[in-house]
Amino acid sequence: MKSILRILLATITIAAAARVSFDLNIADQIVPITGQTLAVLVSAMLLPKWEALIAIVSYLALGAFGQPVFADGEYGMDKLTGNGAGYLWGFLLATFSVSTTRGYKDSRSLLSIMHGNVLGTAIILFVGFAVLAFHIGTQSAFSLGVTPYWTGAVAKILLGTLVVFGIRKSVK
């Protein structure tokens, strides 16, 4: 029962975090920043691997089948196949990688937690870039799908590290 509750809580948290959105003006370019990546990676660091993966699959399925859980309240199968689909699929690969390499029980040191967040963020950006490059070419994909997001990515890495560290310290 605890496992089901943790999966449900993680899925809801990721969906809610997708609604947390603001725009940064970086070098005269508006860059939308959402809480999705933060919630995905915190879940990957805190939950056992299979629970974290089930939460991500549940989140993706909810969005694919019509629930407005993706960023900006988006939904639909086209979100899992279009230009931005790589970022969503990257959540799944990042969750697997982070929860496997960092394991939910050994993620106690600040450096270990940060490493997991950097790894997960890099995977999400890489998969997002790869899918976007398939649609619009590598140069455009890098300048539109990676470069503008570094500022938000670094902020989410730092915040995610502190959140996981704080929770780990308080739960012991």
Fold of 2-171: Arp2/3 complex 21 kDa subunit ARPC3 (1.10.1760)
Buried b (16+ CB within 10 A) or exposed e, 47-63: bebebbbbbbebbbebb
78-110 pLDDT, tens digit per residue, is 999 988 899 999 999 999 999 988 755 556 788
CA distance 4 to 78: 28
Low-confidence stretches of the chain (pLDDT beneath 50):
none
Written as one string, the DSSP assignment of 85-125 is HHHHHHHHHHHHHHHHHS-TTT--SHHHHHHHHHHHHHHHH
Q: Where are the domains of the chain?
A: 2-171
- pLDDT on residue 29: 60
Using CA of residue 124, residue 128, residue 130, residue 131, what is the dihedral sign?
positive
